[in-house]
Amino acid sequence: MEPDDVAFDPGGAPRPDLDAVPEGFVVVLQPNDRIHFLDWGGADPVDAPDPADAPDPVDAPGVLLIHGMAQTGWSWVSVARRLRRARRTVAMDLRGHGLSDAPTAGYEPETLAEDVLAVAEGSGLLAEPDARVVLAGHGFGAIVAAWAAASLGERCAGLVLVDGGWVDIAATSNQDPDEFLRALDEPPEVLRSMTTFLADRRAFDPATWDADQERAARATVVETHAGHVVPTTRPHAIEGSVAAMFAFRPLVVLPSIEAPIVALAASDDEDGTAGRALEAAQSALAAASRHAIRIARFPADGHNLLRYRPREVCAAILALASEP
């Protein structure tokens, strides 16, 4: 292991609450843009791994989960079912995704961060003046979480970057946004029917496929009258999100964050340029006298630790949420 590497014991995650059903709500931002979120409830420490040491739920920071590109808040389901046993847990739909509105504008970093803050406040996670929140983001959501953490300042109790959030895409991808967008297109045969689409998603890792993963997959597409499926995320929203992603400068944003940061790096996220980017981010934080990024590496897993390693992701989030 590298000097700043850590390992999060999956035994530190509560068992999943399989009976939990999240409630859906929206917050409204100017000019009348609605951002949807799933409120998983929680904040009862009874089912924490060690209830005697569990913090007072009134004072403990809640958790706000932010999904990746072309996903929805349901992508966090396997993590959220565990988190809610120990912390108040909310999973949002980014603008243009899921059940949130898809305006033609508002995909710049500042507005995306404002959306996160609006959900944190509207859900009650930041209802009290001294309340704090842990932000966790996956892929593109990790980038948005970083922008929001920088805006929150001391009200952010911690930032968990899952499968991304430390790479300068514009500098390392050797692509422009249009090329990157074309690479996101689904093969036509995958979208031929709901059956073929779900079979494709199941094939990523049959061992982790279950009713929750199917629900998360279904939330990303709509079935047409002809039987085909189309993505729920509108093309202009994907285009705006990719443009925002290309504007992300991790060596500027991450050192500006006051809260401790954990990075969970799958094999796809630490090889080659991504691995060097993580080391550069470490150095930038050290130069700014910030907390060192704690890195947990998963060299045998691909770019969806929410699905492949939900217990470890949950344990990492709870570790930050339990710090003073």
Orientation angle between helical segments 140-152 and 235-246, nearest 10 degrees: 60
User: What is the 8-class DSSP label of residue 13?
Assistant: S
Amino acid symbol at 72: T
For residue 158, the domain's CATH number is 3.40.50.1820
pLDDT band at 273 (very low <50, low <70, confident <90, very high): confident
Orientation angle between helical segments 109-122 and 140-152, nearest 10 degrees: 70
Amino acid 323: pLDDT: 87
Virtual CA dihedral for 72, 73, 74, 80, nearest 10 degrees?
160
Cross-strand partners of 34: 28
Amino acid 1: pLDDT: 46
Q: Do the beta carbons of residue 54 and residue 45 sit within 8 Å?
A: yes
Contacts of 85 (CB under 8 A, 6+ apart): 14, 15, 17, 42, 44, 46, 47, 48
Give which of 222, 133, 230 is closest to 188, Cα–Cα: 230
Query: Would you say residue 208 lies in a domain?
Result: no
Q: Do the beta carbons of residue 102 and residue 93 sit within 8 Å?
A: no
The lowest-confidence range among 34-48, 147-161, 206-220 is 34-48
CA-CA distances (angstroms) from residue 13 to 8, 9, 181, 272, 289?
9, 8, 36, 31, 31
Query: Would you say residue 202 lies in a domain?
Result: no
Amino acid 272: pLDDT: 67
Task: Give mean pLDDT, residues 62-91.
Answer: 98
Tell whether the torsion through CA atoms of 268, 256, 74 and 79 is positive or negative.
positive
79-120 pLDDT, tens digit per residue, is 999 999 999 999 999 999 999 999 999 999 999 999 999 999
Residue 288 tokens read as 């700014």
Q: Do the beta carbons of residue 295 and residue 4 sit within 8 Å?
A: yes
Task: Give mean pLDDT, residues 245-261.
Answer: 97
pLDDT band at 324 (very low <50, low <70, confident <90, very high): confident
Query: Would you say residue 46 lies in a domain?
Result: yes
Determine what percent of the chain is predicted with pLDDT higher than 90: 82
Q: Do the beta carbons of residue 39 and residue 23 sit within 8 Å?
A: yes
Query: Would you say residue 207 lies in a domain?
Result: no
Query: Would you say residue 107 lies in a domain?
Result: yes
Place of tokens 């000019």: 31
Average pLDDT value for the chain: 92
Residue 251 tokens read as 């060596």
Helix (H) or strand (E) holding 268: helix 267-270
Provide φ and ψ at 316, rounded to 5°: -65, -45
pTM for this prediction: 0.94
DSSP strand pairing (261-266 vs 156-162): parallel
Query: Would you say residue 301 lies in a domain?
Result: yes
Virtual CA dihedral for 51, 55, 61, 64, nearest 10 degrees?
0
Asked whether the bond before 31 is cis by omega within 30 degrees of 0, the reply is yes
Query: Would you say residue 96 lies in a domain?
Result: yes
Q: How many domains does the chain have?
A: 1
Give which of 257, 182, 197, 279 is closest to 230, Cα–Cα: 197
Span between the terminal Cα atoms of the chain, in Å: 26
Q: Does residue 314 carry a pLDDT above 70?
A: yes
Query: Would you say residue 16 lies in a domain?
Result: yes
Q: How far is CA 159 from the centre of its chain?
A: 10
Q: Which domain holds residue 304?
A: 10-173+249-321
